[in-house]
Chains A and B, each alone.
Chain A
């Protein structure tokens, strides 16, 4: 049987946009409290859900990045906290990449994959807590850290 994928594309843009907003809010909460269990769980679930929806529609670049983000969140969940400012910045950067990809889908373009460096950083072991040396960042914080998350719409 064949499913009406045009219909699911619209649902993806609506629900995926909501998920990205939730990720943005969770990251802002994590800026304030790196051990927020609620924010960590939300981020994990949203990345997981985005992965499944994107994979269902064949949006592999979105599914791949969401999968890497989910894996990263699994480690954070196991440790009970975001482990450094760099790690938080990396998650913000991943969100921005996901937003760009979903925006491409909304514009009926093919989403382009995240760059390999971002994939590698997400896969790397977390850095030690940098709370005392936050000026020495290896991952540049995006401009939007602490800003309002964007939302892609159909």
Chain B
């Protein structure tokens, strides 16, 4: 099971991810509401896994992911994307993000993606 940092400016989405993953045994160790907080909290908490929204204030999720990966190349970041963000998702994956989940979230798909990555990070 993984220690997870959730980065999303919408409380709605943060709560939804939390409600989906906590019953699976994952621990939410922090919540960031913008890209700057995401980088700061990553450095402070060193979570096993980050769910990173792409569109956030102050610093975008793409920029935040790149900043984290520049300092921590093994960071496990999952991008949260929406319809029409395929190009940005590809950019994030090229920069080293591990995977992506698509909004609106399908709980089973979110669990499958995060659990697969959690297993890899615990290896």
Alpha-carbon separation in the docked complex, A4 to B22 (Å)? 14
Say whether A150 faces chain B, with CB atoms less than 8 Å apart.
no
Say whether A29 faces chain B, with CB atoms less than 8 Å apart.
no
Say whether A49 faces chain B, with CB atoms less than 8 Å apart.
yes
Whether B12 and A12, one on each chain, are in contact in the complex, defined by CB atoms closer than 8 angstroms, is: yes
Whether A3 and B103, one on each chain, are in contact in the complex, defined by CB atoms closer than 8 angstroms, is: no
User: In the complex, which range does the number of interface residues on chain B fall in?
Assistant: 20 to 34
Interface 0/1 of B24-49, CB less than 8 Å to A: 00000000000000000000000000
Alpha-carbon separation in the docked complex, A41 to B19 (Å)? 29
Find chain A residues with CB under 8 A from B104 CB: 52, 55-56
Shortest C-beta distance, A2 to chain B (Å), equals 8
Say whether A31 faces chain B, with CB atoms less than 8 Å apart.
no
Shortest C-beta distance, A7 to chain B (Å), equals 8
Whether A1 and B12, one on each chain, are in contact in the complex, defined by CB atoms closer than 8 angstroms, is: no
Within 8 A of B (CB), among A9-48: 11-12, 15, 41-42, 44-45, 48
Interface 0/1 of B87-109, CB less than 8 Å to A: 00000000000000001110110
Whether A11 and B15, one on each chain, are in contact in the complex, defined by CB atoms closer than 8 angstroms, is: yes
Say whether A53 faces chain B, with CB atoms less than 8 Å apart.
yes
Whether A1 and B107, one on each chain, are in contact in the complex, defined by CB atoms closer than 8 angstroms, is: yes
CB-CB under 8 A for A49 and B11, given A1-B20, A67-B84: no
Say whether B55 faces chain A, with CB atoms less than 8 Å apart.
yes
Say whether A51 faces chain B, with CB atoms less than 8 Å apart.
yes
The A interface, classified by DSSP as helix, strand, loop or mixed, is: helix
Choice from A12, A41, A51, A52 contacting B57 with Cβ under 8 Å: A41
Choice from B20, B82, B105, B107 contacting A48 with Cβ under 8 Å: B82
Find chain B residues with CB under 8 A from A45 CB: 9, 55-57
Find chain A residues with CB under 8 A from B13 CB: 49, 52-53, 56
Say whether B70 faces chain A, with CB atoms less than 8 Å apart.
no
Find chain A residues with CB under 8 A from B11 CB: 11, 15
Say whether A71 faces chain B, with CB atoms less than 8 Å apart.
yes
Name 15 interchain pairs, CB-CB below 8 A, sorted by A.
Answer: A1-B107, A3-B16, A41-B57, A42-B57, A48-B82, A49-B10, A49-B13, A52-B82, A52-B103, A53-B10, A55-B82, A55-B83, A56-B104, A67-B83, A71-B84
Interchain residue pairs A-B with the least CB separation, the first 9:
A56-B104, A55-B104, A52-B103, A1-B107, A48-B55, A53-B12, A11-B12, A49-B10, A15-B12
